[in-house]
């Protein structure tokens, strides 16, 4: 399998604070990786290093074989990125905003139009294409962000909390979409909803305090919970791995809540 995302020895410090403390991450084509961790664990910082928004203090990133540090422009063509909160220009219409991104990616007017139409179809944004981005609901704003990320049909998708703030129906829809988009792509999505990992991911990575504390399949994550836990087993494992007050044997009592 082709390794599309290769991050080696990634570290990031902000002044004296070390947000990411040595992360190695390799994602092959066809894998949907769920990136988990408590708030402040370094998820967004790691994704920002993978997309070249932040330069790592140490370590390297290769995207589809291109070294991000050597040829950032070429490397940035290989992925679509949904930053945290799905930022977009509020004073533009959905269609206008997507055309802006497509043109900035270098497509000529006709090709940009064709790609924007395809992305709008794919995300069912048709009825909203003339609406101002700032007047969209959270769900549609998120979809606009996703549409922007898939315009150029990239081999890599990096999505920072794609379902955050969506209602259950919208969540379901976005997950379906990510599953469909998966295919031959390498997808990294961050979330703190564990059911999401079970629903869409083929691999789960949990980080805590800037380090990887679990790397395996969602099934393996689930099997780490003690047999006495019957509900929300993944939540239990998550707490076990990322907090100091829940430990394997003793935790069995409190974990079944």
Partner 1 sequence: MSARARIGPVFRREFGAYFASPLAGIFLVIFLFMSGIFTFQLGGFYERGQADLRPFFTGQPWLYLFLVPALSMRLWAEDRRTGTIELLLTLPVSVWDLVFAKFLAAWAFACAALALTVPLWITVAWLGNPDHGAILVGYLACALLSGTFLALGSFLSAFTKNQVIAFVLCGVAGFLLLVTGFPIVLDFVSGWLPRLAVEAISSMSALTHFESMMRGVLDLRDVLYFVSLTAAFLFLNGVVVEWKKAE
Per-residue binding string, partner 1, 141-180, x by CB under 8 A, is -------x--------------------------------
DSSP letter, residue 158: E
Alpha-carbon gap, residue 13 to 212, rounded angstroms? 16
Tell which one of 24, 58, 70, 91 touches partner 1 (CB under 8 A).
91
If one asks whether residue 61 binds partner 1 (CB under 8 A), the answer comes out as no
Tell which one of 65, 106, 127, 254 touches partner 1 (CB under 8 A).
106
If one asks whether residue 76 binds partner 1 (CB under 8 A), the answer comes out as yes
If one asks whether residue 81 binds partner 1 (CB under 8 A), the answer comes out as yes
Give the CA angle between residues 133, 182, 160 to the nearest 5°. Answer: 45
- For residue 84, the minimal CB distance to partner 1 (Å) is 7
Tell which one of 21, 26, 69, 100 touches partner 1 (CB under 8 A).
100
User: Which CB sits closer to partner 1, 54 or 120?
Assistant: 54
Contact between residue 125 and residue 133 where contact means Cβ atoms under 8 Å apart: no
Q: Which two tokens stand for residue 229?
A: 């836990």
- For residue 101, the minimal CB distance to partner 1 (Å) is 7
In sign, the C-alpha dihedral spanning 230, 210, 52, 3 is negative
Alpha-carbon gap, residue 130 to 110, rounded angstroms? 18
User: Which CB sits closer to partner 1, 158 or 251?
Assistant: 158
Tell which one of 42, 83, 210, 255 touches partner 1 (CB under 8 A).
83
Tell which one of 66, 69, 92, 199 touches partner 1 (CB under 8 A).
92
In sign, the C-alpha dihedral spanning 149, 155, 161, 162 is positive
Return the residue matching tokens 């209602």: 167
In 64-124, the DSSP E strands lie at 66-67, 79-82
Tell which one of 8, 103, 113, 122 touches partner 1 (CB under 8 A).
103
> Which of 231-237's residues contact partners 24+ apart within 8 Å by CB, and which partners?
231/256, 232/194, 232/257, 234/194, 234/195, 234/197, 234/198, 235/194
Q: Which two tokens stand for residue 167?
A: 């209602």
If one asks whether residue 105 binds partner 1 (CB under 8 A), the answer comes out as yes
If one asks whether residue 113 binds partner 1 (CB under 8 A), the answer comes out as no
Tell which one of 3, 18, 84, 235 touches partner 1 (CB under 8 A).
84
User: Which CB sits closer to partner 1, 106 or 126?
Assistant: 106
Contacting positions for partner 1 (CB under 8 A): 14, 48, 51-54, 72-74, 76-77, 81, 83-85, 87-92, 100-101, 103-106, 148
């Amino acid at each position: 399998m082709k390794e599309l995302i290769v991050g080696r020895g990634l570290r990031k410090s902000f002044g004296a604070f070390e947000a990411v403390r040595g992360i190695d991450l390799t994602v092959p084509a066809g894998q949907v990786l769920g990136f988990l961790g408590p708030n402040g664990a370094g998820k967004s910082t790691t994704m920002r290093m993978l997309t070249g928004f932040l330069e790592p203090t140490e370590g390297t990133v290769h995207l589809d074989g291109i070294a991000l540090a050597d040829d950032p422009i070429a490397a940035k063509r290989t992925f679509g990125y949904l930053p945290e909160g799905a930022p977009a220009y509020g004073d533009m219409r959905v269609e206008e905003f997507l055309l802006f991104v497509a043109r900035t990616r270098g497509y000529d007017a006709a090709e940009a139009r064709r790609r924007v139409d395809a992305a709008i179809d794919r995300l069912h944004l048709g009825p909203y294409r003339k609406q101002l981005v700032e007047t969209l609901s959270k769900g549609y704003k998120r979809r606009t962000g996703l549409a922007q990320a898939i315009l150029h049909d990239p081999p890599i998708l990096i999505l920072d909390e794609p379902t955050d703030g969506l209602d259950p129906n919208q969540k379901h829809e976005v997950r379906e979409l990510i599953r469909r988009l998966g295919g031959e792509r390498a997808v990294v999505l961050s979330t703190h909803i564990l059911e999401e990992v079970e629903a869409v991911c083929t691999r789960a990575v949990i980080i805590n305090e800037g380090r990887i504390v679990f790397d395996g399949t969602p099934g393996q994550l689930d099997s780490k919970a003690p047999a006495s836990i019957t509900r929300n087993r993944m939540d239990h494992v998550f707490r076990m791995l990322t907090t100091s007050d829940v430990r394997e044997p003793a935790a069995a009592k409190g974990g079944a809540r």
